[in-house]
């Protein structure tokens, strides 16, 4: 059926509207605190929705339905771990972040260990976040090229440019408030899509239950064990144990040590509001993932063909929107997918820029030149935002035709570094004997084991962060004790 003028008008209106809305915040950006922390004057509920939007990319909207199409609801076990991880952050890490005026997560590392380790942790964040975000930006091209026929590279360029405009001008305030609008758009659009798919399935809900139920598509829990020691099934990504344990470690790392989310938590008015924002976002994320999984099951009941018929599972939902959805609704759903893409990209640009300026530029510049003015800092922050937009565009182009199911690839790239980062943060906040040298050795070992798990093992990616964290913490603590003994000798 394809899109018609009404659909294209809706998409164009969304793109123009959200860009102009973000530009409204330009005049409020006078200092680095304004640009990177929104002057710590954002209500907790807006930060909560922004956290949800920041961790929801095009990957989530197109790949999670594809995951359910091929399998079932067992991914929800990982989301349960996401909620547990948020509780851990609220008690362990957030109290540390609100002791003093911090702009990035890695300033906490310097305060506890020293500047060298801050440089390493911030650098690792920049590398892995850029790589993972390149895959996420690439995912945008799957939807836009199917919907508009603009070609994948042109699709990436359009979304990157429009997102850059309001992120460049409005800073974190523009990012958060556009996230709020975009969350309502993509969740509302997905609900409309779910109802529409249900009406299009012959036989309605009864047919969906019969088809999906017979193939166990609604299965949520998989408590299976391995027949071999240590009895946990490390090769299967979505078991109860991988979900609860692995998901909790993954979220503790992604929301507690990654500047993408920590920046939002630091923008809250106080620690209590930050906790409220984080915990409420967990409830919203659980609902959201359940919604996307339902879409995938509905699509399976409608098509009842292997995902290979579409080339890849990630193409099923956007293909359905363009070819089967009524006009108007199709345009709304494409706009909803673009909303998720732009909210995630704007979050990445602002967090990468903040870490680049605060963790590197201002620290190293001060050793060679006089103190830079506030206007000069703000100018450099905006230039860093442009530089990261160009780099992410290049990485997204490189990702074309080189990745599989994009949601898992994005999680895998992020997971490779998260264990080492979380292990160092826990060494800092849970121990008093750990020192910078020991933590550095632990981080190197943790990163090495995660690289091994990624490239040369059969261990599922849901376990990587948990294993990497434990290795980093244990080796880092032991190495710190050894260095302490040597220094006394």
HSE of 251 in the Cβ direction (CA atoms, 13 Å)? 29
pLDDT in tens, 360-392: 988 876 655 657 777 888 889 899 999 999 999
Q: Is 46 part of a structural domain of the chain?
A: yes
Q: Is 421 part of a structural domain of the chain?
A: no
Greatest CA separation for the chain = 79
Q: How far is residue 9 from each of residues 14, 141, 327, measured CA to CA in Å?
A: 9, 19, 11
For residue 47, pLDDT over 80 is answered with yes
Q: 461 near 411, Cβ under 8 Å?
A: yes
For residue 412, pLDDT over 80 is answered with no
Q: Is 488 part of a structural domain of the chain?
A: no
pLDDT in tens, 300-334: 999 988 888 888 788 888 888 888 888 888 888 88
Q: Is 164 part of a structural domain of the chain?
A: yes
Evaluated on CA atoms 312, 125, 248, 274, the torsion sign reads: negative
Residues making up the chain, counted from first to last: 489
Element counts in the chain: helices (H) and strands (E):
21, 0
For residue 405, pLDDT over 60 is answered with no
Give me the number of domains the chain comprises: 1
What's residue 486's pLDDT? Answer: 54
The closest alpha carbon to 481, from 433, 441, 410, belongs to 433
CATH, residue 12 = 1.20.1730.10
Q: Is 445 part of a structural domain of the chain?
A: no
pLDDT in tens, 131-176: 878 777 777 777 777 766 667 788 788 888 988 998 888 888 888 9
What's residue 485's pLDDT? Answer: 57
Q: Is 284 part of a structural domain of the chain?
A: yes
What's residue 268's pLDDT? Answer: 93
Which of 37-51, 212-226, 238-252 is the least confident region? 212-226
Using pLDDT thresholds of 50, 70 and 90, give the confidence band for residue 488: very low
Which of 67-76, 255-264, 314-323 is the least confident region? 314-323
**Residue 25, domain extent:** 5-402
Token pair for 176:
């958060």
Question: Distance between CA 89 and CA 262 in Å, rounded?
Answer: 10
Q: Is 200 part of a structural domain of the chain?
A: yes
pLDDT mean across residues, the chain: 86
Burial 398-417 (b: 16+ CB within 10 A, else e): ebeeebebbbbbbbbbbbbb
List Cβ neighbours of 410 (8 Å cut-off, separation of 6 or more): 57, 59, 132, 135, 136, 139
Phi, psi of 238 (to 5 degrees): -115, 70
Q: Is 140 part of a structural domain of the chain?
A: yes
Question: Distance between CA 83 and CA 70 in Å, rounded?
Answer: 25
């Amino acid at each position: 059926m394809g899109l018609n003028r009404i659909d294209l008008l809706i998409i164009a209106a969304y793109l123009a509207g959200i860009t102009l809305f973000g530009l409204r915040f330009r005049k409020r950006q006078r200092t680095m605190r304004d640009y990177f922390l929104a002057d710590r004057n954002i209500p907790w509920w807006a930060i909560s929705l922004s956290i949800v939007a920041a961790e929801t990319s095009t990957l989530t909207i197109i790949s999670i339905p594809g995951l359910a199409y091929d399998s079932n609801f067992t991914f929800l076990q990982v989301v349960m771990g996401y909620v547990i991880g948020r509780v851990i952050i609220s008690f362990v890490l957030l109290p540390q972040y609100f002791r003093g005026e911090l702009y990035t997560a890695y300033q906490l590392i310097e305060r506890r260990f020293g500047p060298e380790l801050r440089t390493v942790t911030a650098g690792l964040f920049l590398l892995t976040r850029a790589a993972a975000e390149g895959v996420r930006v690439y995912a945008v091209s799957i939807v836009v090229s199917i919907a508009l026929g603009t070609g994948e590279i042109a699709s990436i360029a359009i979304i990157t440019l429009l997102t850059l405009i309001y992120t460049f001008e409005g800073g974190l305030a523009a990012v958060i408030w556009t996230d709020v609008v975009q969350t309502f758009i993509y969740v509302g659009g997905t609900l409309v899509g779910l109802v529409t798919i249900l009406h299009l399935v012959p036989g309605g809900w009864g047919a969906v239950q019969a088809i999906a139920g017979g193939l166990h598509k609604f299965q949520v829990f998989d408590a299976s064990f391995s027949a071999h020691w240590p009895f946990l099934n490390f090769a299967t990504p979505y078991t109860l144990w991988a979900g609860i344990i692995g998901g909790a470690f993954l979220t503790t790392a992604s929301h507690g040590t990654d500047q993408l989310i920590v920046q939002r938590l630091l923008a809250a008015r106080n620690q209590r509001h930050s906790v409220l924002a984080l915990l409420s976002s967990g409830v919203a994320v659980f609902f959201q993932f359940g919604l996307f999984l339902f879409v995938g099951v509905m699509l399976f009941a409608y098509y009842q063909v292997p995902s290979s018929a579409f080339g890849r599972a990630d193409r099923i939902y956007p293909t359905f929107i363009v070819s089967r959805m009524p006009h108007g609704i199709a345009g709304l759903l494409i706009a909803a997918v673009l909303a998720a893409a732009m909210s995630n990209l704007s979050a990445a640009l602002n967090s990468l820029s903040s870490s680049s300026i605060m963790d590197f530029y201002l620290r190293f510049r001060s050793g060679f030149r006089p103190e830079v003015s506030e206007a000069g800092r703000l100018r450099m922050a905006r230039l860093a935002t442009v530089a990261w937009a160009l780099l992410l565009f290049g990485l997204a182009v490189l990702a074309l035709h080189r990745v599989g199911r994009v949601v898992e690839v994005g999680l895998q790239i992020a997971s490779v570094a998260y264990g080492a980062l979380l292990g160092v943060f826990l060494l800092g906040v849970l121990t008093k004997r750990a020192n910078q040298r020991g933590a550095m050795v632990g981080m190197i070992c943790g990163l090495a084991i995660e690289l091994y798990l990624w490239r040369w093992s059969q261990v599922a990616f849901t376990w990587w962060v948990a294993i990497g964290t434990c290795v980093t913490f244990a080796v880092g603590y032991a190495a710190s004790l050894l260095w302490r003994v040597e220094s006394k000798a």
